[in-house]
């Protein structure tokens, strides 16, 4: 295939990537309506072969290898996170550290002290909980929500244990950034985790700004903790029509009014 034609094709594609870290094959077909779909597919194949484009999921393409969206590494974790990591390593269970420890470089303000989010396979969760508590780390399982709602206890929690089934969303015992964000989202919205909604939103916006979100991987991460519908909505919010947003806001206000026992 003519390399000049391929470069022109890629340059047009790059304009679409200005607004997103990934583009679907459907969007790409729509960008080249006068070109046969089979020809477009061959051009995508050639660009991937040359390392100028990457397949990031089923029917999704990215300008960078989305598998590189890993956490900064063990050396960047807080000391407590490193200690927990070292302890858990000794027991042979599949695990990874997630949340803030895996989002170094994406968090504008990191609290001085915060609980470690530790994803671990189901068979090991009880034993690791006992081991950490015996070593003077206050470890609480995610399902023990009443403990996490206790304000006097909340500030003392060192580790939150979440049961996971998908360990492809980590590398070297540390979550990839999509999974780290989803776990943090889960902890903030379900487990009374100690950062604000505004800070959580800032992290998400930063990940988007740096084009660090693979749609396929963040959906897999969301499925792992049961928040797929919410994350899918979040990914699509920019595409929602203004009138639809207005309707949604109205419904949320109505719901708030019911909760507060007064009309909004």
What's 240's DSSP letter? S
CA distance 125 to 130: 9
Asked whether the predicted pLDDT for residue 104 surpasses 50, the reply is: yes
For the chain, list the strands marked E by DSSP.
22-24, 54-57, 60-62, 95-98, 116-120, 139-141, 159-163, 170-171, 174-175
pLDDT in tens, 228-256: 999 999 988 888 888 988 888 888 888 76
Q: Do strands 159-163 and 116-120 pair parallel, antiparallel, or not at all (unpaired)?
A: parallel
pLDDT in tens, 107-157: 766 666 789 999 999 889 999 999 999 999 999 999 888 877 777 777 889
Tokens at 175, concatenated:
């979550």
pLDDT band of residue 212 (cuts 50, 70, 90) is confident
pLDDT in tens, 12-32: 888 776 666 678 888 888 888
CA distance 143 to 33: 51
pLDDT at 155: 80
Strand order of the β-sheet with 54-57 is 22-24, 60-62, 54-57
Q: Comparing C-alpha atoms, which of 53, 75, 76 is closest to residue 66?
A: 53
pTM, two decimal places: 0.72
pLDDT band of residue 263 (cuts 50, 70, 90) is very low
Decide if 64 contacts 14 (C-beta within 8 A). no
């Amino acid at each position: 295939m003519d390399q000049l034609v391929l470069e022109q094709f890629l340059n047009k594609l790059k304009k679409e990537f200005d607004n997103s870290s990934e583009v679907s094959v459907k969007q790409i077909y729509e960008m080249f309506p006068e070109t046969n779909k089979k020809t477009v597919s061959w051009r995508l194949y050639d660009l991937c072969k040359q390392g100028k484009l990457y397949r990031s999921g089923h029917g999704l393409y990215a300008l960078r290898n989305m598998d590189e969206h890993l956490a900064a590494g063990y050396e960047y974790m807080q000391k407590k996170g490193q200690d927990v990591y070292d302890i858990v390593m000794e027991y042979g269970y599949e695990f990874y550290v997630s949340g803030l420890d895996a989002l170094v470089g994406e968090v504008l303000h990191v609290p001085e002290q915060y609980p470690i989010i530790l994803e671990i396979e189901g068979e090991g969760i009880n034993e690791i909980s006992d081991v950490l508590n015996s070593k003077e780390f206050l470890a609480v399982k995610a399902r023990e929500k009443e403990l996490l709602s206790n304000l006097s206890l909340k500030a003392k929690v060192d580790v939150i244990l979440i049961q996971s089934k998908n360990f492809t969303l980590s590398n070297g015992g540390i979550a990839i950034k999509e999974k780290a964000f989803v776990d943090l989202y889960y902890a903030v919205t379900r487990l009374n985790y100690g950062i604000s909604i505004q800070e959580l939103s800032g992290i998400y916006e930063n990940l988007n700004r740096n084009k660090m979100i693979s749609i396929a991987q963040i959906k897999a991460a969301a499925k792992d903790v049961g928040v797929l519908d919410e994350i899918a909505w979040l990914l699509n919010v920019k595409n929602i029509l203004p009138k639809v947003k207005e309707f949604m806001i109205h419904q949320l206000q109505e719901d708030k009014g019911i909760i507060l026992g007064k009309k909004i």
